[in-house]
Structure 1
Amino acid sequence: METQSPAKNTKSHSTRWMWFSIVVSSGILVWAFTIPMRHSNEKVTELQSDVSEQTSTVARRSETPQDRAKQAEQYRAWAMELDRELMRMQRAKDQRHEPRSLPGDQEVRQHQENYRNWMLDEIKRLANAPKHSPEYEFRQQLIESLDAPQ
């Protein structure tokens, strides 16, 4: 009697488990996707019987184009009223805040000059920062941004 090598035995063992897991997974998927189909027939028949009893005692109301036009007009009026209310709230909000104007050319230049001076001061302050430290990297970024067009 010949014995199988451990490598071949392991291979057939893992293949068997692989196929087993595929079959079990497929079975679970089939079971999960058939649940709605199995239970839907029972509920539909129950609902149909309930509906048929209700409709037999109550006359059906058919919706005419005039009814739909009336509903559409009511919806339109509601939407326009809502829009008017939102616009009124926006106007009240705008009136509470004082309007600010954009800065003039002189103010912009002054701000840019102040920012540039701050950057130069930071570069000087970080001149002795050790290489590859966060301070050194920040200093390099400041130097690069000084050279960038403003």
Structure 2
Amino acid sequence: MLDYYKDYDKAKLKGKNCSFCFKTVHNKYENEKNQVHTRSLHAEENAMLQITKSGGIGVNKGILFTTASPCELCSKKAYQLGISKIFYIDPYPGIAEDQILKSGIEETKPIVYIFSGAVGSVYNRLYETFLSYKDEMSLTLK
């Protein structure tokens, strides 16, 4: 990994940490764009697994709050775990709702709601950075 950053001028960091994405570094060496080789999870996956890992109560009949509507993989997990309601702010493109969440036995299907609060996704944009920290560091080090 160290040679991945060999061309960067570390003095430009001015004391900031140099973050990296495992997927980016791995894919550079493999010369591909595959996301399978990452240690990261979607927030929904992580939340569901952390509950199980810590010996918490089950999520059957639980409610899932998420920024974007769940992708196909997270939808399958939510469905299988018995999540009863899913609230999201922004729609995520894909077949998750039509093909996964609306199929099966009526009483086991989660109900999906788009958030309809005061300002919707604009509220989140107030707190978003212009660039992700990783992108800021990449530009800083060039």
TM-score range, shorter chain: under 0.3
Larger Rg: 1
Higher helix share: 1
Higher relative contact order structure (alpha carbons within 8 Å, sequence separation ≥ 6): 2
Higher strand share: 2
